[in-house]
Amino acid sequence: MVRHNNMIPNGHFHKKWQTHTRTWFDQPMKKVRRKFLRAKKLVNSVPKPIQLLRPTVSCPSVRYHSKLRKGRGFTLRELNQAGINKKYAGTIGIAVDHRRRNRCVESVVRNVLRLKEYQERLILMPVKKTQVVKLDSGKDLNKVKVGESKMKVRKVSEEEKKFEAYVTLRKARCDAKYAGVRIKRKLPKGENLDVSKSCN
């Protein structure tokens, strides 16, 4: 209740807030555009990988520490044991994180093997187009077709068309679930069966 000789309240409460709000209705099309650009980038960067090589690290906390995930970058100790210079690593697609520390020997061994495996598969392309890089087999790398599939195209047989994967999986799952009960039903009355041994 208004007391004394005050002004009668007449609040409009900023009703033009819509003009100061930013909408996000273009999000679905932006998602499609990002997908298209990623595919375009992949085509242009072949045979170079579009993502950096990252180490495998353990997740934090007791709940997830048994799981492995990708980390930010390899430590300087891991790079040193793999025989890779930290500046050179950035030029061949290896992520480096100078702040990360190795807390156990297992992670070092795991990531060093990861780096060595990457180096074995690595093929350095020439900077100049006039240069010719030859593989161990003697083939000219500039003439090798990238993304050539070894699988031959064939027609789908009638048997494959009739095969129902979902139904087959559900049936196998159901059979595994009720295997012990079905075996127990077939036994004569009064005879016991260890279901755990029979299933194995």
- The CA distances from residue 22 to 17, 19, 37, 41, 172, in Å, are 10, 8, 25, 30, 52
Q: What is the pLDDT of residues 131-185, one digit of tens each?
A: 665 555 555 444 444 445 566 888 889 999 999 999 999 999 999 999 989 998 8
Lowest mean pLDDT among 20-24, 111-115, 126-130: 126-130
Residue 75 contacts by C-beta under 8 Å, 6 or more apart in sequence? 55, 97, 98, 100, 101, 102, 111
Distance of CA 64 to the CA centre of its chain: 18
- 32 band by pLDDT with thresholds 50, 70 and 90: very high
pTM: 0.49
